[in-house]
A and B are shown apart, each in its own frame.
Chain A
């Protein structure tokens, strides 16, 4: 079942701009992960944030987690055309080892 829901469904920006994607989920979690997928290929892991963390950085990526609101956001700064992809959040929910994915945000970065 889909636990995570990303918002917006689609986002179009120009190179150099920042892109923000949001994710909401329903049940308690141990951690939340963000993945990128290019054109129906495999998922590339971007970042994992644990339930006791509020913010995490990795290069141009910044992820926040608000467990009280059951939401997370992914910020990509200074976007590049190569960032064009679908972005998914995934939570482990109650099962521990099975990831629950949202439908994803489709990001288009134009030169």
Chain B
């Protein structure tokens, strides 16, 4: 099976812009989670979607949003970018019917100037 894919891999934006990141889960997986990784805060959970519904949400401002499509692909959007949003954004997928292994994609590295 193909693994989790994320696009784009690298992105440079300026403050105030918005950005959309995409994640395609492993075939058959219905859950997609998003995480932010920074040197200072480490890996932090953003949100999780299962069958197009947000099932869990982390402690991030409303500028961070996401959605999931009927084919389980997911997008996350960050509006009004701030310098502190520079990070590696990782998406993970799992089957979703039980709590189990999450498989991660290669990540999107976002740099906000």
Residues of chain A whose beta carbon lies under 8 Å from any beta carbon of chain B? 1-2, 30-31, 33, 35, 40-45, 48, 88, 90, 92, 95-104
Contact = CB atoms under 8 A, between A and B. Distances in A.
B56 A99 contact: no
Contacts, number: 64
B75 interface: no
A29 B35 CA distance: 19
Interface residues on B, range: 20 to 34
Given A43-B90, A101-B42, A95 B59 contact: no
Contacts of B44: 1, 101
B99 A33 contact: no
Given A95-B56, A97-B48, A98-B56, A45 B101 contact: yes
B33 A97 contact: yes
A61 to B, nearest CB: 14
A41 B56 contact: no
A38 B64 CA distance: 26
Contact of A45 (B35, B42, B103): B103
Closest A-B pairs by Cβ, 10 of them: A101-B43, A43-B104, A42-B106, A98-B45, A42-B104, A98-B56, A103-B42, A30-B99, A97-B48, A42-B107
